[in-house]
Amino acid sequence: MMKKYIIASYLVFWFMVLGICGTASMVFHCPPVVMRILSNVCAWAPTIVLLVGFKKFCPGITVKQFYKKAFDGKISIATLLIAAFITVCATMGTVSILSAIQGKTLSSYFSLGTYPFWASFLFSITTGPTGEESGWRGYVRPYLNAKYSFFKASLLQGIIWAFWHTVLWFVDSDFMGLQMIPYILSNVIVMSGLCFIMNFFMEKHDNLVYGIVVHFCFNFLYCFLKVDIWFYVILSVIYIAVIAVLCLIKAKQTGAQIASRDKLWKQRPEA
């Protein structure tokens, strides 16, 4: 059922983007605020698919039980802030490096955008962070984590999540031609990196709030960024480093757990 869920989420999202947003833009020439609202609605495709087919995708449990389990893990404010900090620092660090290379001020890479601050906040929290996470982290993540290692599960989540956005690379991107190559690669690398961050913290604190917060911290900054393709190139390098560090920490934690179990095993009394 997992493959069916993923395929359905892809198809429903692509249909909503091309059908609803495409019609609203090209036929009705809707204003930007309406288009933004419609794009937020499209972002809920993974949750819509999950809830519509819930009995098939999650047999034996109710929707209430599913969400109770998804938000049942203990939340540590410290680790939640660390997860958010890593996500924000990756973006801000990239802007700082780009600023130093291009000789521009940091402020030149930011703009207040089309909407007031409160509207940007509202749009950001009601799109991917709340619309996608039930499906990708609430449903897909536990399945992949149970089947694969931390590295493989996180990487697969990132690839699945990234290519779900495929239609947006072509209809909602400022890049064309050869610039699409680093842009698409960056999307895959960065979204995989975000999955590694989410998975790293959610393995210990199994609560969907971590996914929502990381997703929000990443999306919110993009409401104000004005960057070129080199931003995405540098961001990719930053997230490769983040993945490497998280995997090293995870490997050390796993090694320590194995050593601890071995020690306890050797100390057990003989029969």
**180 CB contacts (<8 Å, ≥6 apart)?**
169, 173
* Residue 270 confidence (pLDDT) above 70: no
127-149 per-position pLDDT tens digit: 999 999 999 999 999 999 999 99
Q: What is the pLDDT of residue 112?
A: 80
Instruction: Average the pLDDT over 172-176 and give the result.
Output: 90
| Closest C-alpha to 2, from 122, 200, 147, 126 | 147
Stronger pLDDT, 208 or 263, i.e. the higher one:
208
30-58 per-position pLDDT tens digit: 999 999 999 999 999 999 999 999 999 99
* Residue 260 confidence (pLDDT) above 60: yes
